[in-house]
Amino acid sequence: MASIQLDHVSKAFHMSRGRCVEAVRDMTFEVGEGEFLVLLGPSGSGKTTTLRLIAGLEQPTSGTISINGRTVNGIPPKDRDIAMVFQNHALYPHLMVWQNIAFGLKLRGLPKSEIDQRVRDVSEMLDITKLLTRLPETLSGGEQQRVALARAIARHPKALLLDEPFSDLDTPMRAQMRVELKKLHRRLHTTIVHVTHDQTEALVLGDRVAVIASGQIQQVGAPLELYENPANTFVAGFLGWPPMNFARGTVVPERDGFIFRFVGAADTAHARCLRCQIPNSIAPAMAKHVGNELVMGLRPEGIVRVLNNASSSTGTTVEAIVELVEPTGPQVHVYLCLGGWRCVAVWPRECAPAVEERIFVRFEMQRARFFDAQTGKAIALAPRSQT
C-alpha cells in the first residue's frame, strides 16, 4: 500500500501561438494508505491530468508529488510501482487474455512459476479464468475491463489508478462493475485513485471524494459529508440528481425571528408565498447576513407535498403549479413553478400530482444551505437538529 501526497501541484500545457492552458492549478490533497479516493468533476476539469501526474506520465510545472513520503518528481513511471487502468482498456489485440495479464510480469523478469501463480490468482479473483485463452476482440466491454484490471492487479502495485474505467459500459454493467470493484478493494486493501464524472459512481465507491473544477480542488471529504454540507455552489449543484435547487434572496428580520425573502421576478409575482422562515437553530448565524444577497440551496428531497396549506413547525408551506412530472420507477421528479421561481422535487410515485395541478408543498428549511451570492462559498451555520 502507498500514501500519495500532492503539494501545490500545477500543470500547464504550452500550445501553439504561445497559448498556455493550465490544466491543474495549485492542487493539494493526500490519499491515505489503503484508501479509495475518487476524483470527481466534469469533462475538462483536470481529473485525468492529475492521475497522469501521479503515474509519472506527465511532469508537474510546479509543486511536488510524493509517494510514501518520497518525492517522485522526475522519477519515471516504471520506478513508481503504480499501475494504471486506462479508459480504453489498452489490451494487446494479438495476445490472448493470459498473455495480456502476464505481459508486464514478464518484462519485470519474474520467474515463470510466479507469473503462472499470479495470473491464476487474479483470474479467479475477477472470475475470468474461462477467458484466459480468448482474444480481446471476442470479449464484451465488461470482460475487457476485468482483464485490464487483472493485468494491473497482477503486478501487486503500491497503488492503483483508474481513469474512468466504466465509461464505455452500459448502465447494468456499470452497476455490476462498481460492486465488483468495491469488493475487490475490501479484499486487497490497495490504495486506489479513481477518476469519474459520474456522481453516483463517486458516492458509491469512494471512502472520500475530491470534487474538481477548472483544475482546482473544490472540496474533499466523505461522500455524504459533501452531499449534506457542500463547500460552495459548484459542489452543491454538481453532487446529486436532480441537482440542488437554488434561489437568490435576502435575510429579513421579522417579529418572531428571520425570514429568507426571494428576490427578482419570483418575489414580485408571489411575495407572500416566497418568504421562508429561518429555523431558530441557525437564526444567530443568519443574523450576521441581514440585508445581504444570498443563495439558498434546497435538495429536491427537501420539498415535501402537503394536502393543505396548514402551517408546519418543520418548514414553510407554499402554493405551486406542477409543470412537468417525470416517472423514474419508484419515484417521480416533479418540476414546480412558484411565482416565476422553478424547482424540482423528488417524491414517491404514489404522491405524483397531475401536470398543471395547483398543489401545496413544504420547504424543509432545516435542510436548506446558504451561500454567499458573490463568491458562491457556503455560509457557516450553527449545528442543525435532525429532521
The one-letter amino acid code at 32 reads: G
CB 83, CB 161: distance < 8 Å:
yes
Stated as kind and residue range, the H or E segment containing 201 is helix 199-205
Domains plus CATH for the chain? 4-238 (3.40.50.300), 245-372 (2.40.50.100)
d(C-alpha 62, C-alpha 58), whole Å: 12
CB 300, CB 245: distance < 8 Å:
yes
Residues in the chain: 387
Q: What is the pTM of this model?
A: 0.88
The one-letter amino acid code at 198 reads: D
List the strands of the sheet with 36-40, edge to edge: 82-85, 159-163, 191-196, 36-40, 208-213, 216-221
Grid coordinates in use for 233? 455552489
Greatest distance between any 2 Cα atoms in the chain = 81
d(C-alpha 194, C-alpha 51), whole Å: 8
Stated as kind and residue range, the H or E segment containing 225 is helix 223-228
> pLDDT value at position 280?
87
* Plot region of 61 (φ>0 → left; ψ -120 to 50 → alpha; else → beta): alpha
d(C-alpha 336, C-alpha 344), whole Å: 6
d(C-alpha 297, C-alpha 320), whole Å: 18
Per residue of the chain (387 residues), what is the pLDDT tens digit?
899 999 999 999 988 877 889 999 999 999 999 999 999 999 999 999 999 999 999 999 999 999 999 999 999 998 999 999 987 778 999 999 999 999 989 988 999 999 999 999 999 888 899 999 999 999 988 889 889 989 999 988 999 999 998 887 788 878 888 888 898 899 888 999 999 999 999 999 999 999 999 999 999 999 999 999 999 999 999 999 999 999 999 999 987 789 898 886 554 444 444 888 888 888 888 989 998 899 999 999 999 998 765 555 556 788 899 999 999 999 999 999 987 789 999 999 998 999 999 999 999 999 999 999 999 999 987 554 443
d(C-alpha 132, C-alpha 150), whole Å: 11
Instruction: Count Cβ atoms below 10 Å from residue 205 Cβ, excluding itself.
Output: 23
Structural Rg of the chain based on CA atoms: 25
**Residue 98 burial by CB count (10 A; 0-12/13-18/19+): exposed, middle or buried?**
buried
> pLDDT value at position 194?
96
